[in-house]
Structure 1
């Protein structure tokens, strides 16, 4: 009797399940590598200090050779795209509408002016320096909003092309390094300028790129400064929603003109989930333990995703870019610093 005659419906069903699970099984090797990097870098950052995302990026880049081998590539791609979007969506549990309202209109105007003007100036400076507009928008948005997290979120809304991932990696490295330096330097500026605790909080929250560095610098001065700087920073994080929506419209038009590659959805699921989580969190129905767990999960997703982006990028590719993007991000950082100081000294930030 032939094999086909002895096969049973159960065997056919088993083969069907194996076919369905095959894509998930193919992702496991690469995904495990990214998770391992996330665990190692988080341990190092927690015990010895330093930016976790930058560690994950550098560890990943040291394992770039894994992308030349088939078994890991699928999982790395999955982490760099899907895990990234999950992490960005979960950032919504860190923000409430009440936190935004408590700031008053002055800090809100300061943040809006700083974010919009920095993105516009970033795009203009990039063109003046002979760089692409896309890089200027990405670096400007990252500097203006929330550093590495914004770089990952905005890049997910941009078309995929031959330089998109290189631009993302470069931006993450730049803003993380600048943010770490700002955490040390900006409190010294606060002391030199003699800012009050409230003004110091607006200054730090409105200028430092990453949330962790804002918190560290703020509470380094006083509890009041730490509270204000955290609220202002969360308002900048909230600007991620309209920024991503603008990027969606902008790059959809570019794609229609044939200037970009890859499909860019108008309202991606991760952006919708981000907004929904902000609204739900504003209602106060998420228990504190669950909110902390979702925040931690978001951090793990972002670290895992950036490890994947690091694996996909080589030092040689970054070296090709040259010094101009570094100067661009430094100029954007100094511009944002100037905007916030002008708002403080003109009284706009205290309305």
Structure 2
């Protein structure tokens, strides 16, 4: 049976792996020894009809462990390190907040990572409302646990990816660490009852713990997502491709960078903008404009540098091509989505943020 313990320093709930005598908090890095553990209901018995990316199920007499306490099985580490990803597609199905393209975005992103960038399927955690496993629903708790898992035990050479497609929002910041006075947020399925996930927590969970040699990319297709990872620098680029790095380090002096690793985020729009679906025709043909433009930039050969990627993404959204072309987008969407076309008139500009400044036109892009 799994145990839940509170961090001895910041009181964050932590799931204790079976047999462990202590655990390090992903938020404040304090080490907590076992004390007054609280039992957590075990997950339902393994069903052969459910799809699991984690290690093979135990015998029926053994309770299946929580997936987020264990590194996925897969091939031995390559000389270039391990690849690991968390993909969230939140459609808010059957609610007044329902979105059309988010689950399609998640499927497209997984297809891209597996087929273009050789991420092992066993190292990708998918969170969508389509999942039958309760641990794979994009609730606030499951998203938190997935983000903890993403960085847990990462080593130099590892490549990590976090993709989110869903609602984003803002809330008033009272600590003085936001340039515009607002925190950016991501909305899980249960945000109306459990609350949103705030950029400060995202930063503390998957940015600050990154050790030297580890690379994290976030692809965030949501409204108000420009600085949703709270990274210190934003690439402010005009329509001619000229750019400068805007300093978003908090005036309070709180460190929002990494522990030596590299964190870079592509987001769907600026903090004061909203993001769009590529089509309002039906739930079948829709995808997020930002996710679509990200994949198109790679498929059309623009994924050479970060500057070329950002320019290509913005151009795709501004020009709104007719039809879905490009290898991965075509093959995946033909199979899954039966075709579709982009609607025109999107008013959003994808953004690039990073933990350190760099020359966007000379730094090679890679996942």
Give your verdict on TM over 0.5: no
| The structure with more radius of gyration | 1
Higher strand fraction (1 or 2): 2
TM-score by length of 2: 0.25
TM-score by length of 1: 0.26
Higher helix fraction (1 or 2): 1
**RCO higher in structure (CA 8 A, sep ≥6):** 1
